[in-house]
Amino acid sequence: MPNDILESVKDFNTITIFRHVFADMDAIGSQFGLKYYLESAYPNKKIYCLGNDCPVSQRNNVHMDVVDDEVVASSLAIVLDTSNAARIDDDRYQLAKKSIRIDHHVQVETICDEEWIDDKASATCELLALYLQEKKANIPLQSSLMLYLGLTADNIRFTTNNVRPATFDAAKYLFEQGVDVTKVEQLNFSKSMEDYKYETVVRNHTVFKNKFLYSILECEDYEEFGLSFTDAKDKVYCLAGIDCVEMWALFTRMEDRVHYSASLRSRNIPIRNVAMEFGGGGHECASGIKNLTRDQVNQIIEILSNREVA
């Protein structure tokens, strides 16, 4: 762990924090968890979270900041939970005087001046918690809550194959900072009746081929329940946990009503190479792709349904 990765914060009056598009809880949790810590540790500095508001930020009652280019240009930019430059939700990070990236995805390119990439970690929130633990930092409750939310959302309650002993060290540290784990469980995993009904639709659209389960959903399917595309695409977890299924995928029509996104998952079989073949990426057993044509969706289905399964 580079114990000096955030030392540059001391040299700047303004910090801008970035994360990926279509933000999930690890992106929002790391972004705001870091913001609340920095505001507590450096009360005279200006800390901004940049990007578009999204369902996850709205659900957690946090809001993105709006600043002009001059503010970014005078700042230290910190990019979190983002594997490549094209996925950063505000490309003005390039204007900053200096940039730092902290991420847990497989590294595919260098984005920032300084980078800490650990693709063995279960979440970017895990990395931030371990860093703060190493610093023996006492962090505000808001910070520990956001980091624990991101940690347990990304590793699905410590059940993904990238959970490691250090993951529990991070969780222990955040728990000791006062996080309410019952509140986290409710915020992360409770759902509305509309979510519940839509999950049934996802399951009802499934097709099963040679230990590969998939579902293809259209805009009309999720709009009927008042869900956004971002909410709908995250329902891939509905297809998990079935004994005879080794790989699963959710293909969701995007807001442009033309292309599809793909959320690919597996128990242990590497699928990241398939995502990369179609312009996506992620982790070995959890990857995503955007802007697919229907023909490309069919190609992916063909590849995964014919993949060798031990």
Read off the CATH number of the domain in which 260 is found: 3.10.310.30
Q: Total domain count for the chain?
A: 2
Closest among 248, 232, 230 to 287, alpha carbons compared: 248
Asked whether residue 40 falls in the same domain as residue 89, the answer is yes
Cα–Cα distance between 66 and 148 in angstroms, integer? 26
Cα–Cα distance between 257 and 248 in angstroms, integer? 23
User: Is residue 1 in some structural domain?
Assistant: no
- In which order are the strands placed within the sheet that holds 260-266? 206-209, 212-217, 247-253, 260-266, 286-292, 281-283
Asked whether residue 266 falls in the same domain as residue 166, the answer is no
Intervals of the chain under pLDDT 70: 1, 310
Beta bridge partners of 17: 49, 78
Asked whether residue 165 falls in the same domain as residue 218, the answer is no
Cα–Cα distance between 185 and 308 in angstroms, integer? 36
Asked whether residue 281 falls in the same domain as residue 160, the answer is no
Q: Where do runs of H (alpha helix) occur along 209-254? A: 219-223, 229-233
Cα–Cα distance between 134 and 221 in angstroms, integer? 47
Beta bridge partners of 98: 76
Among residues 169, 189, 209, the one where a domain terminates is 189
Biggest CA pair distance of the chain: 59
Cα–Cα distance between 3 and 130 in angstroms, integer? 10
CA distances from 222 to 194, 197, 200, 241, 291 (A): 9, 10, 11, 23, 18
User: Is residue 80 in some structural domain?
Assistant: yes
pLDDT at 310: 62
Judging by DSSP bridges, how do beta strands 14-18 and 46-49 pair with one another? parallel
For the stretch 73-102, pLDDT in tens is 999 999 999 999 999 999 999 999 999 999
For the stretch 122-178, pLDDT in tens is 999 999 999 999 999 999 999 999 999 999 999 999 999 999 999 999 999 999 999
Please report where in the chains the tokens 């992360």 appear, as a residue.
Answer: 188
Structural tokens at position 297: 């969706």
Asked whether residue 17 falls in the same domain as residue 163, the answer is yes
∠121-122-123 over CA atoms, to 5°?
A: 95
Asked whether residue 30 falls in the same domain as residue 72, the answer is yes
Closest among 151, 58, 48 to 104, alpha carbons compared: 151
Among residues 164, 189, 214, the one where a domain terminates is 189
Please report where in the chains the tokens 């808001």 appear, as a residue.
Answer: 142
For residue 244, give its domain range: 193-305
DSSP 88: B
Write down the pTM of the prediction.
Answer: 0.91
Query: Which pairs with CB-CB distance under 8 Å and at least 24 residues apart come from 269-274?
Result: 269/307, 269/309, 271/247, 271/304, 272/106, 274/300, 274/303, 274/304
Asked whether residue 69 falls in the same domain as residue 34, the answer is yes
Asked whether residue 184 falls in the same domain as residue 197, the answer is no
pLDDT at 116: 98
User: Is residue 254 in some structural domain?
Assistant: yes
Among residues 163, 189, 215, the one where a domain terminates is 189
- Count of CB atoms situated within 10 Å of the CB of 285: 18
- CB neighbours of 62 closer than 8 A, spacing ≥ 6? 28, 32, 49, 146
Closest among 39, 6, 20, 19 to 142, alpha carbons compared: 39
